[in-house]
Amino acid sequence: MICQFTWNGEAHQADLSQAIDLSLVLAGNGKANPSAWYVDDPKMVPVRGEGFVGAVAEGGSVNFRDITFNPHGHGTHTECLGHITHDIHSVDVCFRNIPSLMPCSLVTLTPQEVGGDQVLEVDLLDEVAGPWGEAMAIRTVPNGNDKRTRAWSNTNPPYFTAGFMNRLVQSDVKHLLVDLPSVDKEVDGGRLEAHHAFWRVPDHPRHGCTITELIHVPDSAPDGLYLLNLQVAPMDNDAAISRPVLHPLV
């Protein structure tokens, strides 16, 4: 299926039958799963009670499991500014006014070493050709397949500066997708400077903007413009598990 659209004054076509899934699977019960923020593994446990067991393998009629997980710590998730505000804004409400398809720039960046940290600074964007879509997906290198199941806690992953975020805001990027557990430094004393800069909290909050973390972009996908379908679970929470899908232009 070919989708025709006009963006930035030019006509484009995207092949919706070709999909690049950027999400990581939420798995439980000892299966390989990405994790961050010191959380326990996700759990998927059959419901039991009064002669009922929610497991066909144990004699039940259906599989019926309770699932325990943390959207921020157990895989691909999308968050709204409610992640850092006193009142918990809902990512579900946020997505009621976000288009189902939007132009997305895929870019590959190499973090720079700064004081022993791996940092994504604003000057990296000088080499990224424009114009940029209202969404930007960032693939960091190295891009090993182990990112799909990596335990990120206590590893001091790469992070973004507030200046980097300011440039995105100035360029009207509304939706940022990254293959890291956070846009901020793992241990930063609670400052979350990159989050605050992107969402302009508290002075000029960007309510319709989102950050998606823990994606994985295959090496086979070249940098450039795509059409993004950002699918987010309808959860009344600051963040929810999500499935970002890129469709290539033709």
**Is 209's pLDDT higher than 90?**
yes
Report the pLDDT averaged over residues 16-25. Answer: 97
Q: Percent of the chain beyond pLDDT 70?
A: 100
Per-residue pLDDT band for 13 (boundaries 50, 70, 90) equals very high
Beta-strand (E) ranges in 144-189? 159-160, 175-178
**Cα separation, 34 vs 151, whole angstroms:** 6
Per-residue pLDDT band for 235 (boundaries 50, 70, 90) equals very high
**Is 28's pLDDT higher than 90?**
no
pLDDT score at 30 = 78
**Cα separation, 183 vs 197, whole angstroms:** 11
CATH architecture of the domain formed by 2-27+71-248 = 3-Layer(bba) Sandwich (3.50)
- Min mean pLDDT across 22-31, 202-211, 221-230 is at 22-31
pLDDT in tens, 70-106: 999 999 999 999 999 999 899 999 999 999 999 999 9
**Is 247's pLDDT higher than 90?**
yes
pLDDT score at 64 = 98
**Cα separation, 53 vs 170, whole angstroms:** 55
pLDDT in tens, 130-151: 899 999 999 999 999 999 999 9
- Rounded to two decimals, what is the model's pTM? 0.96
Question: Rounded to the nearest 5°, which phi and psi values hold at 194?
Answer: -70, -45
Token pair, residue 117, equals: 């940290």
Report the pLDDT averaged over residues 2-30. Answer: 93
Domain boundaries defined on the chain: 2-27+71-248
pLDDT score at 31 = 84
**Is 169's pLDDT higher than 90?**
yes
Q: How far is CA 56 from CA 27, 46, 52, 63, 164, in A?
A: 19, 10, 11, 6, 51
Per-residue pLDDT band for 29 (boundaries 50, 70, 90) equals confident
Report the pLDDT averaged over residues 157-184. Answer: 98
Which amino acid does the sequence have at 78? T
